[in-house]
Amino acid sequence: MKEKLTLMIPGPTPVPERVLHAISKHPIGHRSPEFQEIVEKTTILLKWLHQTTSDVLTITGSGTAAMEAGIINTLSKGDRVICGENGKFGQRWVKIAKTYGLDVITVKANWGEPLNPKKFQQILKNDPTIRAVIITHSETSTGVINNLEEISTYVKAHNNAIMIADCVTSIGACNVPMDKWGIDVIASGSQKGFMIPPGLSFVAMSEKAWEANKRSDLPRFYLDLNAYKKAVDKHSNPFTPSINLYFGLQEAMTMMKEEGLDSIFRRHEKHKNAIQTSMKSIGLDLFAQQGFGSPSITSIIPKNIDAEEIRKSVKNDFDILLAGGQDHLKGNIFRIGHLGFINDRDILTVIAAIETTLDKLGVASKPIGTGIETASKILNAIN
């Protein structure tokens, strides 16, 4: 039976019924007082989620639009920046930065390993001309979480540099206290922890980021954050926004507020642990280095079989969509997204489906049920 799809990819993530109902309402005028109220309320909730008193701006576009906006609104051609690169989204940062003529120093780590914060510290110490450090917090392509907190500390100590982070698959999944950690620009997208369909993205800008904005001379129009700032101060948008996704944003953020930040983070942590431990218990390896698994995505290395075969079989038999490996990882890993609107039942379901599939494909090394037993202990210990 088809038509009963469950998404367990890193995005789009499952959308609650409340949100689907909200986005199916007839649009209203985006210059009306009723819409201004939605902009005002969602902006307050976005600041709450980012744990910041700074601006959080909503763009109609994908997470990449938010990433690009973060760069082109704070930097100038020729500016020297450090980009962290340990996966596909780190590579995207480098590409965007080079597109705009920035002078990019790349700090790399192998895919599956975290960035070494000390390398950033060292470069920053010796080079007062650095204008920005740009990294991916949760690297969606590998399932690795980078130490944004520590790297931010070194950036904070530097006079000129700002900290720009892609938090697309970390915000709404784990603790990202923007003000406390001193992050200056956070880019994210709606189809992740926000639990709404893709089409909106968010850029948070600290005071230091706005200071950098004053000297930034890169050309921009649709992604000119000054226009968004001017508009949001009047509870409005510079251009016609995705009105129906705004309806969804309001509903989803209300649900997040009801659950509470701590509960959201605990739930993701529990699910990450359940997935990681159960996968290891059935003899599969994790791609991310121990201790650096993302709260949102777990990358798994199957043995004696192409990862795509498992992924296709799980999709075909159980209509659960898992993600494959990207680029050179294709066939080597599959990825489970456990981000956003995911409950314990979803975790048990995906583990049971994977166990059943490994058995069907003749590559199970443990009795079926081993993974479920492992996961259930973690779920029961915390519930």
- Tell me the three state secondary structure of residue 144: strand
> What whole-number distance in Å separates Cα of residue 217 and Cα of residue 73?
8
- Tell me the three state secondary structure of residue 254: helix
Contact status, residue 70 vs residue 187, Cβ threshold 8 Å: yes
In angstroms, what is the minimal distance from the CB of 242 to a copy of itself? 3
Contact status, residue 287 vs residue 142, Cβ threshold 8 Å: yes
- Token duo for residue 322: 């898992």
Query: With respect to a copy of itself, which residue has the nearer C-beta, 276 or 296?
Result: 296
Query: With respect to a copy of itself, which residue has the nearer C-beta, 241 or 371?
Result: 241
Q: Which of 109, 151, 110 is nearest to 132 (CA)?
A: 151
Query: With respect to a copy of itself, which residue has the nearer C-beta, 99 or 263?
Result: 99
CB atoms within 10 A of CB 260: 10
Q: What are the residues binding a copy of itself (CB under 8 A)?
A: 5, 7, 9, 11-12, 14-15, 20-21, 23-30, 32, 60-65, 68, 95-96, 99-101, 189, 191, 197-199, 218-223, 239-245, 321
Query: With respect to a copy of itself, which residue has the nearer C-beta, 254 or 277?
Result: 254
> What whole-number distance in Å separates Cα of residue 123 and Cα of residue 366?
47
Q: Which of 176, 198, 172 is nearest to 267 (CA)?
A: 172
In angstroms, what is the minimal distance from the CB of 100 to a copy of itself? 5
Contact status, residue 117 vs residue 147, Cβ threshold 8 Å: yes
Query: With respect to a copy of itself, which residue has the nearer C-beta, 64 or 370?
Result: 64
- Token duo for residue 95: 């590409």
Query: With respect to a copy of itself, which residue has the nearer C-beta, 31 or 360?
Result: 31
Query: With respect to a copy of itself, which residue has the nearer C-beta, 113 or 346?
Result: 346
- Residues present in the chain in total: 383
In angstroms, what is the minimal distance from the CB of 255 to a copy of itself? 16
> What whole-number distance in Å separates Cα of residue 276 and Cα of residue 349?
15
In angstroms, what is the minimal distance from the CB of 81 to a copy of itself? 15
- Token duo for residue 380: 């029961």
